[in-house]
A and B are shown apart, each in its own frame.
Chain A
Amino acid sequence: MTTNRVVTATINGVETPLLVDTRMSLLEALRDAAGLTGTKEGCLTGDCGACTVILDGRPVDSCLVMAAEVEGAAITTVEGLARNGALHPVQQAFLDHAALQCGVCTPGFLVSAKALLDKNPAPTEEQIRYWLAGNLCRCTGYEKILSAVQDAARSLKTTR
């Protein structure tokens, strides 16, 4: 019984065939089969959010998605946030606010925050805190991350 298969998904706008073992998670497929190592592995139990990607419009923990599930799906990873060499406003705001230290949690926060702002361009502080509650950071203490997301919301508003 062979358990390898090709799964084709649209990753950051590009239709991408991935050769996966059926035991692989989406996280492993992205990192090991697609070579997109921006998505990080933390806990593998859905607790830390380092592996967050946007799957068909919703943020998910890619460690809790089977690679074989994403046939035909649209996926955005942190590599898909910048456009034509220009950082996404969320990325720029994280830099401006020094909202990262070691950086392991950062791709997950960026992707979660982008998903929030896509859905709700003007979130309240409470909405931001609840939305990001599934992303853990051991370094920053969250205040700078919160400020960065608020700032990104403001700059998205002026560029719209």
Chain B
Amino acid sequence: MQPLQFTTAATLEDALGALGALAGADGQTALLAGGTDLIIQWRAGRRPLRQMVELKKIPELNVLEFDPARGLRLGAAVACHRLAEFEPARRHYRALVEGAALIGSTQIQSRASVGGNVCNASPAADAICGLIVHEARCLVRGPKGSREVLAKDFMLGPGRSALQPGELLVELRLPPPPPRSASGYLRFIPRNEMDIAVVGAGAWLAFAADGKTCTAARVALGAVGPTPYLVDAAGAALIGSTLDEPALRAAAEAATEAARPITDVRGTAEYRRHMAGVLTRRAILRAAQAARQSTRETHA
């Protein structure tokens, strides 16, 4: 294994400087957040590196804040356990928190970040459906300044993100939750714990003042295509309904229709298509239940 230069970035400028100076042509510089993907890939020889730039000490990447008018700010390097313990996030961004909390064991939760989950760009990454259904924006910094990319456009394919050479992900911004809205995420794995999603589904719903009529809805699927993605037709099938049986069936069918899975050791394509529908229905019901709960709490 070739020698490795290890740089601890104290500031964003440090990190960008290190990326710019060595990233250059060979692509052998990598940013290190929790390391739960990177260290394994590097050690296995799948990712030859000359330099690692550690990000966890950069203040901007550790922001975790909620403001009812501005929404959630989640620094790219915040470890999943911090997000899972952050009450406003648990309350208002359940699909994201439920997905992030599923990543690995207690030990992995201590290190793994949502930023790393997104940048690693696995098709089965559990935190991404939640970001998509909450319409998160990814704040990116690079040599030419800052830009924003919608979470749904951030992943381009397995292991490929919208980041250009020299750029890094600083923060994820989730818009404030409208009244009477809620979300949820579910994944299916063959075991109770510690596995990779066969299918993942996130749902976000908003309701009218009657608390019953769905006014806005978004559904995203993971592990059934090259990236997690939004299924517009599944959300559209719910709008204007009271989540009655025909609406739920239409949303589930839209998800099955939109699933483009592969066959691998965890399941056949046909099975995954079926499960995409099943999990979509359950994620919708989970979000609806969360919405009823929070409405009750607000009126209590």
Contacts and interface: CB of A to CB of B under 8 A. Distances in A.
Interface string B81-109: 10000000000000000000000111110
Contact of A134 (B1, B4, B8, B105): B105
B5 A112 contact: no
Contact of A1 (B5, B54, B56, B111): B5
A25 B107 contact: no
A49 B4 contact: no
Contact of A133 (B5, B81, B194): B194
A59 B106 contact: yes
B208 interface: no
A5 B6 CA distance: 10
A45 to B, nearest CB: 5
Nearest to A61: B107
Contacts of B104: 46, 134
Interface string A13-28: 0000000001101000
Contacts of A3: 3-6
Interface stretch (A63-71, A75-83, A92-100, A144-152): A63-71
B193 interface: yes
A73 to B, nearest CB: 11
Interface string A41-53: 0001111010010
B223 interface: no
Nearest to A2: B3
A66 B107 contact: no
A144 to B, nearest CB: 20
A134 B3 contact: no
Contacts of A132: 106
Nearest to B7: A68
Most central of B8, B40, B105 by chain A CB within 10 Å: B105
Contacts of B111: 60-61, 64-65
User: Contact residue range for chain A?
Assistant: 20 to 34
Contacts of B52: 66
B136 interface: no
A23 B193 contact: no
Contact of B39 (A22, A64, A135): A64
B105 A68 contact: no
A11 B278 CA distance: 49
B263 interface: no
B106 A64 contact: no
Contact of B194 (A5, A64, A134): A134
B107 A23 contact: no
Given A46-B40, A64-B39, A66-B52, A133 B6 contact: no
Given A66-B32, A133-B193, A52 B4 contact: no
B35 interface: yes
B35 A134 contact: no
Given A64-B39, A64-B111, A66-B52, A22 B106 contact: no
A1 B50 CA distance: 11
B147 interface: no
A22 B4 contact: yes
A59 B39 CA distance: 18
Contacts of A134: 104-108, 194
Contacts of A45: 40
A131 B39 contact: no
B215 to A, nearest CB: 36
Interface in A85-136: 112, 115-116, 130-135
B81 A58 contact: yes
Most central of A58, A115, A131 by chain B CB within 10 Å: A58
Interface in B27-47: 32, 34-36, 39-40, 43
Contact of A68 (B6, B43, B56, B110): B6
Given A22-B3, A44-B43, A116-B106, 11 more contacts: A3-B4, A3-B5, A23-B3, A59-B110, A64-B35, A64-B36, A64-B107, A112-B106, A115-B106, A131-B106, A134-B104
7 contacts: A23-B3, A60-B107, A66-B35, A68-B6, A69-B32, A130-B106, A132-B106
